[in-house]
Structure 1
């Protein structure tokens, strides 16, 4: 898959995910607006019903007093003087001077009396409290609801949450939450001048509305999170597979090159041996036979490395645990690598400070591990390698450090050097050979021995590989 195709897929998936997120956010916003509107309507209806209850309660009192007055006063002779005072609210029914009060006339007087009362006397606080509570419960309104009665004539609050306010407590500056609220209805609205308002304020309104849609929000976030997680994982797998494919391609190219050279050498040596000019000379035959043997051993070593990693892949690694002296292992490995370093004008120095240096491990694998580190230090060093190998005792084990003054590595390279088939980019240098399996093998063997491996490196200044092995295995 090409880089362009990968970027196109990433772009399409990102666009789709962003579209889903935006749609979900819009749906959540719409849901909150609808729930807020329903909440506002429910609170407003509760206030209207409570105000209507007060008006009906007062009207019932007036009706009761009017009916009582009609039954007791309908046959009384009020006399001329009374007629003079009540001429505006009475009706003459006969010529004998007897006046009968008109029911509507008395009702008007009662209504005027109620209208002239202070608002605080007209509002039954207990009835208002009970009615509001019932309305709130019936409307399923969650959260506390603050309410108050505002006297429009006195320009102050007279009741707050069923409690009559004192002169100081009635100050509107103490009730700005109610004063600025949109929840309000007129009390006794049928009169010419509205005597007051019933107001309410919900301090938990936003919380209540959010709680009504939180499960939708959580579900949306969960599903979007799953989509994002799958998307990120998919992209990771694509990029990883692409990287792995590139490393395997490099591995095949390197392996082909590594095998091509000895095969060509063996072919030339074989042709030389069968040549009549060489076949009759035992010394030349022996010389070319040794070349064939060395190149064959070189190919066998390369194949062995690949087979070792294949065994590790299939978890077929069986450690033959014995007592291993790491000082001896380091000394033997240093002697071997010196044969390659010294012809290049380099040097290998050992600092064996560990005492004791004996650990429980597999002799073969530990030797291969140290040889791989030294071979790596040699390959990534300039023309005159300077390699230092040291051992020292640490808590519960022995530490082996291989330091070179070679090319060094970037931070990105340090993250990937233990990946299989990965090889550090060497710029214009093309003489660094290998399959990219050495450090992966080193890490695998270290972990198989319950050890740890760390790397310190700076580009252009060299690298240090620190491997620690415990004295005993579990």
Structure 2
């Protein structure tokens, strides 16, 4: 799948999902408003019926047409004008009956107006389970009414939830579908990126293996000539080429095999107590004896510090070798490396400052990924598979240390390893 096609698919999918969500939320909003309207109508009809039943019980139904029974104060508070004296028990029985009749099975609070004291009597709370308690709600009054009561629906959420439950379910289902769609899309993108990285790795691997094999084959062909023994210098030259290219080939194969072994199982460290300065001195000297190491000038500044740490000698030595080798490979002038050690609280800070081409900030977090190589235009400008720093990161992590890279103010990069003391 081409990059542009994938971008268009992602854009189209995003717009489609956003549109579906907008429609869904519009339906929920409309359904909520409709449910609110239905509640208001149901409550008004039920309360009007309560007023009628009280008048019917007191024989004053003739006054019903001359009064406005129900006045809505707010979304959940109503005043009901009865126009005749009535008692609390009669009111509560009719309220429970009429509200249930109109599908309002939820708790409510009510209070009667006392015309002698010109104030509301103590309020009563009737819970959804039928319990009768004292209400603390401050009920409104109306100077135009004489015999009336106020009712307050404290919580209408249950009513709306019952009406909107199907929409909540559909919204939750939609969110779940979108989540899995997003996860699937992220997997596809990661697989595509991995495919590109692996393709680059295979190209580099093919080049790195074909070059020494071709050199060995050419040198071997020269050595099979009948008169080759007559020119010892030439014989020695091609034998040396075979030896060097064979070492190069073995090194590349070893990198791939190390990668395979690290992928199959967790790194098992054989920790030993080592003197850090002497260990680094020794491994830097060994690196200087290699072809790449002869080009590198190494300066070690430990300020007379020589702490002992617990580390795996084999993996730690390979870690150092990878960092030193990168300092040579990614340098366009005479490569130099300054290794310093400082103390920070309960940690040792080991820094490797080179004078190479440096690493742009946007790539610094990516360089420790497997197969990743900073774009340089021509993939074969610098030989490698993108495995060295991945190995370094895994060894640092296995030791429970930390590593980060920063810019060298004088040019190049600084790799810093934080070692627990």
TM-score scaled by length of structure 1: 0.69
Q: How does 1:234-253 map to 2 (within 5 A)?
A: 234-253=184-203
Give SS of 2:370's match. Answer: coil
Does residue 446 (structure 1) correspond to residue 396 (structure 2)? The answer is yes
Q: Structure 2 CA distance, aligned partners of 1:238 and 1:199?
A: 65
Residue in structure 2 matched with residue 135 of structure 1 by the alignment: 98
Give SS of 1:467's match. Answer: strand
Q: Structure 2 CA distance, aligned partners of 1:234 and 1:459?
A: 43
Does residue 288 (structure 1) correspond to residue 228 (structure 2)? The answer is no
Residues 290 and 324 from structure 1, CA distance in 2 versus in 1: closer, same or farther, beyond 3 angstroms? farther
Please say if residues 17 and 227 of structure 1, whose CA atoms lie closer than 8 Å, have aligned partners that are also in contact.
no
Select 1:279's aligned residue among 209, 226, 229: 229
Q: Structure 2 CA distance, aligned partners of 1:17 and 1:461?
A: 48
Q: How does 1:25-174 map to 2 (within 5 A)?
A: 25-59=25-59, 122-126=84-88, 127-128=90-91, 130-139=93-102, 140-144=104-108, 161-164=111-114
Structure 1: gaps of 5 or more residues: 63-110, 147-160, 180-193
Does residue 322 (structure 1) correspond to residue 272 (structure 2)? The answer is yes
Please say if residues 125 and 163 of structure 1, whose CA atoms lie closer than 8 Å, have aligned partners that are also in contact.
no
Report how far residue 166 of structure 1 moved: 7.3
Residues 232 and 340 from structure 1, CA distance in 2 versus in 1: closer, same or farther, beyond 3 angstroms? farther
* Post-superposition CA distance 1:339-375 (Å, at most 9, x none): 667876x632111347443333322211110110111
Report how far residue 266 of structure 1 moved: 2.1
Select 1:298's aligned residue among 239, 245, 248: 248
Select 1:412's aligned residue among 362, 365, 369: 362
Report how far residue 2 of structure 1 moved: 1.8
Residues 295 and 325 from structure 1, CA distance in 2 versus in 1: closer, same or farther, beyond 3 angstroms? farther
Residues 372 and 61 from structure 1, CA distance in 2 versus in 1: closer, same or farther, beyond 3 angstroms? closer
Q: How does 1:396-435 map to 2 (within 5 A)?
A: 398-427=348-377, 431-435=381-385
Q: Structure 2 CA distance, aligned partners of 1:407 and 1:210?
A: 65
Q: How does 1:253-264 map to 2 (within 5 A)?
A: 253-264=203-214
Residues 458 and 142 from structure 1, CA distance in 2 versus in 1: closer, same or farther, beyond 3 angstroms? farther
Q: Structure 2 CA distance, aligned partners of 1:34 and 1:321?
A: 71
Residues 357 and 409 from structure 1, CA distance in 2 versus in 1: closer, same or farther, beyond 3 angstroms? same
Q: Structure 2 CA distance, aligned partners of 1:316 and 1:469?
A: 20
Give SS of 1:360's match. Answer: strand
- Larger CA deviation: 335-344 vs 451-460: 335-344
Residue in structure 2 matched with residue 312 of structure 1 by the alignment: 262
Residue in structure 1 matched with residue 414 of structure 2 by the alignment: 464
Report the structure number with the largest CA radius of gyration.
1
Q: Structure 2 CA distance, aligned partners of 1:144 and 1:221?
A: 30
Larger relative helix fraction: 1
Q: How does 1:186-265 map to 2 (within 5 A)?
A: 202=152, 204=154, 207-213=157-163, 215-216=165-166, 218-265=168-215
Give SS of 2:364's match. Answer: helix
Report how far residue 393 of structure 1 moved: 4.5
Report how far residue 13 of structure 1 moved: 3.6
Q: Structure 1 CA distance, aligned partners of 2:304 and 2:333?
A: 31
Report how far residue 292 of structure 1 moved: 0.8
Does residue 365 (structure 1) correspond to residue 315 (structure 2)? The answer is yes
